[in-house]
Amino acid sequence: MYVLRHGQNPLYQAVRLGLPNLCYTCGICVGDCPAARFSDDFNPRQIFLRVSLGIADGLIAEQSPIWKCTTCYTCAERCPAGVKPVEVIIALRNMCFQEGIVPHQVSKIHQAVVTKGIVSALTETILRRRRELGLPEVSEDLGAIVKSVIGEDG
Amino acid sequence: MVEKRYKFFPGCLARVKLPHIEKSVRTVLEAVRVELVDVNEFTCCPDPVVFRSASRLEWLLLAGHNLSLDGGDPILTLCPGCASSLAEASFVLKNEMETARRVTEALKLNHEFIIPQVSHFLKVLAGEEILESIKGMVKRDLSGLRVATHYGCHLVRPSFAVGFDDPEKPKSLDDVVAATGAMVVEYEDKMLCCGRPAIDEETSRAILEHKLECLRDASCDILVVACPFCFEQFDLGQVVLARKKGRDYNLPILYVSQLIEIGMGMSGEASWKYHRIKPHKLL
């Protein structure tokens, strides 16, 4: 449960980057939204309104509807008000990470990038297939590179 | 004939799971005389769906690393996700001075560091001259082949960053398919996402199932894609749908470069053994 402290919106980061407060609730973001069409609880307009008002309950959670967004950017292309919908969703997801509450498959992929430098491990079968196809070797240092790149500041 | 040099960005999924697609893209680009330079230190782009969800700064740092490697040649990606993530990060680095300062300092980059142009390889193939050269190289008659195209999302969106084709009514993929002589078939919800990036599996599967229903109504022979994630969603996804829901669509999926290889009479068949749904009509 989030409470407003010192009059500040707890979702300020999502407001600053995504500008949901510009929304005038026209709903154009809902019409062709894949996640809205094919699930029961994803409504981008409702999410932007709640973020504007600082109502974070249920949004910063492992089961949050924000994980249903496919980042297809259809809404981003159509919004007449200048909201950056994907920025709102990504900022909310960043907050979930800060709180350590993310779906298992998300932390798994994130960990793979941090430790191996790529989204999943290279298996012996794939290494063999790459050689058969005459493709370049994949460097074994990618994980170390990622660690050094995000290490200092991340 | 056009000759151009690019740093080739193969991305993760093709490198670690679908190397036959990487091979196919390289083969076609070589055939149309595009020179590719490999950069060993290219890491994950980073992935615009999951990795970017972790931290905005980490996303920009890793993108900054990849953008800064190996001189000023433009970057050509195999995957639309990489192109869009790198292009959007470039946009941020060009427009948010304080963020850019933090990233360049952390990466110890020279102040004169110039962000290279980033494009998906389809942008090169769909250019007028290369499109003509593809037409000239087609040896096999594909006029009887009914092909549906799936653009996916990041290939053309967000348009302010990727700046390629029309974000809602693109034509580049259709143009390239038409250049092979195959027949482009329209279908309902063509521009709908494949569903793959939805972290929620049920939503992801529901979107995929709807796309496959629409494609079945269009009675196409194959579906052509330009994204390795869309490829996996449609190819492997059909196996999952068959197992979980008893749905059998049996629609073969080809990466756009594979269709060009077939049209040019190059042996693409060897790599089809890695497809879950085999393109029998072409075999």
Q: Is B159 on the interface with A (CB under 8 A)?
A: yes
The residues pairing with B9 across neighbouring beta strands, listed in sequence order, are B77
In a domain, A1, yes or no: no
Q: What token pair was written down for B26?
A: 């390289």
CATH no., domain B138-282: 3.40.50.11810
Please, what is the average pLDDT of chain B? 95
- pLDDT at position A3: 54
More confident of the two residues A57 and B163: B163
Mean pLDDT of A52-59: 92
Task: Yes or no: say if B47 and A109 are a contact pair by the CB < 8 Å rule.
Answer: yes
Q: Is A4 on the interface with B (CB under 8 A)?
A: no
Q: What token pair was written down for B154?
A: 């990041």
Does A60 score more than 80 pLDDT? yes
The topology (CATH level 3) of B4-121 is Glutathione S-transferase Yfyf (Class Pi); Chain A, domain 2 (1.20.1050)
Q: Is A129 on the interface with B (CB under 8 A)?
A: yes
How many CB pairs (< 8 A) connect A and B?
172
Task: Yes or no: say if B173 and B122 are a contact pair by the CB < 8 Å rule.
Answer: yes
Local confidence band at A153 (pLDDT 50, 70, 90 cut-offs): very low
Local confidence band at A1 (pLDDT 50, 70, 90 cut-offs): low
pLDDT tens profile A10-36: 899 999 999 999 999 999 999 999 999
In this complex, the residue of A42, A69, A138 whose CB is nearest that of residue B15 is: A138
Residues A49, A70, single domain; the answer is yes
- pLDDT at position B20: 96
Residues A23, A87, single domain; the answer is yes
Could you tell me the CATH number of the domain that includes residue A73? 1.10.1060.10
pLDDT tens profile A74-102: 999 999 999 999 999 999 999 999 999 99
In the stretch 82-101 of chain A, residues with CB closer than 8 A to chain B read 86, 90-91, 93-94, 96-97
**How does DSSP assign B200-261, residue by residue?**
SHHHHHHHHHHHHHHHHHTT-SEEEES-HHHHHHHHHHHHHHHHHH-------EEEHHHHHH
pLDDT tens profile B210-226: 999 999 999 999 999 99
